[in-house]
Amino acid sequence: MSILQSWNDSIRVSSVPVLWVLLGFLLPALSMAELTAQQGGGRSLELPSRIESSVASVPFGPGERTDYDVRLGRIRVGEGSMELVGVEHVRGRPSYHASWVIQGGIPLARVDDHFQSWFDIETLASRRFIQDIHEVRYTSYRHFEIYPSEGHWEREDTGHQEDLPTDLPLDEISFIYFARTLPLEVGETYEMDRYFREDRNPVTLRVVGREVVEVPAGTFETLVVEPIIKAGGLFGEGGEAKVYFTDDERRLLVKLESRVPVVGSLSLHLREIREGRPLRSASPGQ
């Protein structure tokens, strides 16, 4: 049994009602924009064929990029992108480097945020997570180094550290990719204690149904998911979010809707897709 398969088997599935629908792990600070400075980047590397068998079989790969229109109500106010930049070494471990950027806003309320994540190509465990947030009058920079084997994480920018609640931690961005590996069966609720900060657990995904969605990139059959995570800020308790993944093996993020306090209805709409190349092809039956 693969490590990724054991992750999936360990997820608790329940039918408990969801009290608060939060954006949480998807866009922890999405005001209108997310990701743009190349902080903590590394040199892309070729994956040696001898370790290919240990790579998790997943529906994504380096080079994958999705671009989005950002709307406030019906008004387009910006653009965003989510990209799997490549594979880089983090403390000797080959890791996917993912980036999420959203930029835009309205006069006197501009946002330019950059979130980056490095997560292991075998276990999908997070190893580094960087937030660079610029939203209206709010600015924040956080650099987390995450040590799954040692059982703790550390803020590179402040020196603060805490214990991990799991040896297979996830951050906001790697959680998106991990969610794409799940069965996502309609009517099920997936509950996981995988977030790297203990006080944010459990993370819950409620699969509420199927819906045909029309976005600038085309018309897609989608699975509708409500994510829940304990978080403060714009997406604290009482917020609402729905995430639309393609109802196929790719599980691409097609649309995201959120009710944001004060701001109102905020959404992402898929505009363009660039396919990536998975590091390992799925075997029959996987």
Q: What average pLDDT does range 205-225 have in this prediction?
A: 97
Q: For the chain, what percent of residues have pLDDT higher than 90?
A: 55
- Tell me: the pLDDT tens digits for 150-196? 999 999 999 999 999 999 999 989 999 999 999 999 999 999 999 99
pLDDT per residue over 23-62, tens digit each?
343 444 333 333 233 334 444 445 554 455 689 999 999 9
Q: Which of 146, 91, 138, 141 is nearest to 114 (CA)?
A: 141
Q: How many CA atoms lie within 13 A of 250 on its CB side?
A: 17
Pick from 216, 220, 193: nearest CA to 272 = 216
- Are residues 257 and 235 in contact, defined by beta-carbon separation less than 8 angstroms? no
Question: Domains, the chain, ranges and CATH?
Answer: 10-37+55-274 (2.40.360)
The DSSP annotation for 211-240 comes to EEEEETTEEEEEEEEEEE----GGGSTT-E
